[in-house]
Structure formats: structure tokens, C-alpha cells
Amino acid sequence: MYADENVIKIKHEVLYEVAKLAFEGKLQEKKEELPFELIPGPTPKFRCCIYKEREIIRQRVLLAEGETLYGNDEKNVIQVIHSACEDCPISSYTVTENCQNCIGKACINACKFGAISAGRHRSHIDPQKCKECGRCEQACPYNAIAHLKRPCRFSCPVNAITYDEHGISVIDEEKCIRCGKCIHSCPFGAIGSKTSIVEVIEALKSDKKVYAMAAPATEGQFGTNITMKSWKKAMRDVGFNGFIEVGLGGDMTAAYEAEEWAEAYKEGKKKVTSCCPAFVNMVRRHYPELADNISTTVSPMCAVSRMIKASDPEAVTVFIGPCIAKKSEVADQAIEGNADYVLTYSEIRAIMRAKNITLEASDTSYQEASIYGKRFGNSGGVTEAVLQSLKERGEDIDAKVCRANGAEECKKFLLLMKVGKLPEDFIEGMVCDGGCVGGPSSFSDKASSKRIRDDMLSKADDRKILENLGNYRMETFSMHRE
């Protein structure tokens, strides 16, 4: 994560102010005043002028309302804030002070596009002509040409980011997998995601029953004593009618995916998991030949949402977690009965702050899921849960599973499957390093949250998956994508 405290502070302040005004019913009336309240002036704090700072605030308010910015793709939950992106250097290659303005002019001779010219003190690269081929950097004997890696572009695992003629980042809709890595890599806070804060608040203020569903990765994010019971109380205080931990959905997914794996294994077919929406997007957009290999079992988020709606079809379900791609699962994949809205931790905390609600320390007595469902948030957790479910079912198959941890491993193993050289039978794909616990909108760093999480899970009830599911009427809803 590269986003510094200033970027995060601005983002959180905007979310809080929008949430507060939404609860008061004054958002449309007061939102134009927010840029002036947050950036009072007369001197700028971070940018060249207060006018640019205020424009960035205006764009962040629009994102908080779930709006599309400029001419960006309206389908994509990830959006580029142009006024913030303008501060990034246009050219990827620049001549440093190491340049000796030598007679040989190796850099000029190496350039095939006439982008380099001799200056008085050192060579100069014309960003309008530069094709970023890197020949000049390789040719310079003094290593005086540096390759400036724009964080957003180089954090993207699928090369979905390019630049326009003004140097503004452009996200390719056909390539983007909505993983959100670019959002928190940008030190200017120039990329953000649409939020559902306003819609969720309006639902909470309505007569509808609204349910909160917390991702398995939630445990361990907020300290040793912030448990699912802590979240259950806080969500009740916010105004939600109910709260369920999505680890229960992990149990449901594991049980049904075990059936699917067993059938596929016996037929000699290979499968990939469907729990990580960024991974599903990666398969469909970059390895379309493998789309039929995606498991038809729904994600844990969708499973819990369908369970709630089976009892109350008018219920509004809200998923809470560290994942940006979950917003895409709701908006793009359009799966029947899925969650209505997705909130990241910063977004739900803005709602809590607007209501003056905090997470309170609690014990671990509230548990909906087995230990396997809870571990869905870890890389390898899906595999362990499915294998355990196969074991509980008495399925005697020697399934080999490839645990793809992070985007690079996902791409590598999908390529092997594509060319028919994957030795394993199944791929568990997690685009975020470490699994959901390393999600782009995690509250704490991956190492400390994993340590706390592992300690918490070691104290959880050691329930069997199928025994745990015996408490729920799963025959009332489907567990397959429709």
C-alpha cells in the first residue's frame, strides 16, 4: 500500500461528511458547500491551488454518491479523478542530473522516434514523441535515464491502465478486473471507487429490513478483541435489522462446491473457484476459453444474501469487507439474489462515525460459521474447506488443488490450464496476496491482521461444515449461478 495518510484522511473525511448529510436528509442541499468546508483556504494544503483541491473534493463527493466521473466507463466501479491525476509526470522516461551531455549522444542515436534532443546541460525527452520503448535507457553509458513507473499502471496485474494525450490515466473496461490495486497504489489519490453509502443510508431510513453481512476477513482487522459479536452489536446500533457473518456462506459454498468438484473429478474436468470476483473477472476477460471451467457455485456473499431473501424477499442485504471487486460482483455480474450493496471498511466506518457508533471489545461467543468457513478469507482457505467437505461426505477422490495466491500466480496457473499443462485438477484463485485479508481496502496491514486473525480463529469452535449447515434451511434457495 502506497497511499499516504493525507490521501486517506481526505477520502475518509469526504465519506463521513456525505454520510452525515445523507442521514440528515440534507445531502443535495449542502453537498456543494463541502469543498469549501473541507478546503477553507486561502492557501492550498497539498496541491498547486485551492481550486484544484476543491475540484478533487467535488469529484470525491460524486464517487461517494455512486456517480460516474467525466467520460469514464459508467459500468466500472473504479474511476479516475482527472484533477488529481494531472499531477503525475506525463513521460515514463526522464533524463536525470547524471547526464554528462556527452559527445557520443548514445541516447539520441538509440531513439527511433526523434523524441530525444540535445539540451544545453543534458539531453531532453519530448513526452509527446516518446513511445516508451526504453532504448534510450539501455543505451546511456551513465545510467542517466530513469524509468518512472507510475504506480497505478505498474500495480495493475492485467495491463488495463494507459494514458491519454494529457497524461491522464485511462482504465480499459475490457481488461480491468476491478481488483482495486491501482486505487491504493496512487500517492495522489487519483483513482477511487463508487460507493453505495447514500443508497444504504436511504435503505436504513426506510421501512425495509436491512441486513449487514461481514466478510470472513473482518476478524483480525480491528484488533484482538473486536469480534463478530462486536460487529453484530455495532450494526444493530447503526440501524441494521440483522447481522450475519459471511463465513456461514463459506460453509455453504464449500458444501456445494465439494459436490461439483467430485463430479468434475470423476469426469476428468478441471475447475476454478468462483469466490473471488476479481479472479472470475480475470478468467472471463483474459482467459475466456476457460469461462466454462468456473465453478457454478455462488460466492459466500451471494449464498448468505439468498438465504436472507428466501425468508424475506423484500430484504436489503449489504456486504461489508476489504474488497473492491465485490462491488463489481454486484454491479457487473448481475447474479440473481446477490447482495444489494457492498461497502468497504472505510465506507461502513464513515456511516458508523456519522451515527457516533464505535466497535466495542467483545468475546467470541457469537459464531455462525465453522472454522473452515471463517478461513475463506485466507489464501488456501477455500481449498481446505472444500477438501474438508469432501471428507465429511465420504468422497474418496484424490483431488489435487493449485492454490493461486496473488494475481501473478493466478495468471501463471490459468495459462497452464489454457494450454493443457496444469497438473492439478482444480485452481483456487485469489487475486489479492494472502487472500481477502490482503484486500485493497483492508483496515490494517496484512501481517498484523493475519497474526491477530489466526489467534482468534484458533479459539473458534471446531465445528464440522455439514453439521453446522444442518441448522439452516438451504433447500429454500439455490446455490448455483443463474
Q: Provide the grid cell at 82.
A: 482527472
How far is CA 290 from each of CA 37, 166, 185, 282, 420, rounded to the nearest angstrom? Answer: 51, 37, 30, 10, 11
The whole-number pLDDT of residue 2 equals: 41
Residues of the chain with CATH 3.40.950.10: 206-476
The whole-number pLDDT of residue 51 equals: 93
The whole-number pLDDT of residue 460 equals: 78
Q: Taking the complete model, does pTM exceed 0.75, yes or no? A: yes
The whole-number pLDDT of residue 4 equals: 60
Residues of the chain with CATH 3.30.70.20: 93-147
Q: What is the pairing mode between strands 271-272 and 78-80?
A: unpaired
Q: Which CATH code for domain 206-476?
A: 3.40.950.10
List beta partners, residue 162.
Answer: 170
Residue from 184, 153, 154, 183 nearest 170 by CA? 153
Q: Provide the grid cell at 102.
A: 556527452
Taking 3-state DSSP, the helix, strand and coil percentages for the chain, each rounded to the nearest 5, stand at 45, 10, 45
Q: Provide the grid cell at 120.
A: 544545453
The whole-number pLDDT of residue 91 equals: 65
Residue from 169, 382, 200 nearest 295 by CA? 382
Four-CA torsion 382, 385, 390, 392, nearest 10 degrees: -170
The one-letter code for the residue type at 287 is Y
Residue 28, phi then psi, degrees to nearest 5? -65, -30
Residue 27, phi then psi, degrees to nearest 5? -60, -50
Instruction: Tell me the mean pLDDT per 10 residues along the chain, length 482.
Output: 67 96 96 94 86 94 92 83 80 86 91 91 87 90 88 93 85 95 90 96 97 95 92 97 96 95 94 96 97 96 96 96 95 88 97 97 90 92 94 90 96 97 96 92 80 81 87 86 76
Q: How far apart are CA 38 and CA 59, in angstroms?
A: 13
**367, 251 in Cβ contact below 8 A?**
no
Residue from 208, 306, 277 nearest 432 by CA? 277
Instruction: State the Cα angle at 375 between 369 and 379, rounded to 5°.
Output: 155
How many CB atoms neighbour CB 392 within 10 A? 16
Q: How far apart are CA 69 and CA 79, in angstroms?
A: 7
The whole-number pLDDT of residue 163 equals: 83
Pick the CATH number of 93-147 from 3.30.70.20, 3.10.290.20, 3.40.50.300, 3.40.50.2300: 3.30.70.20
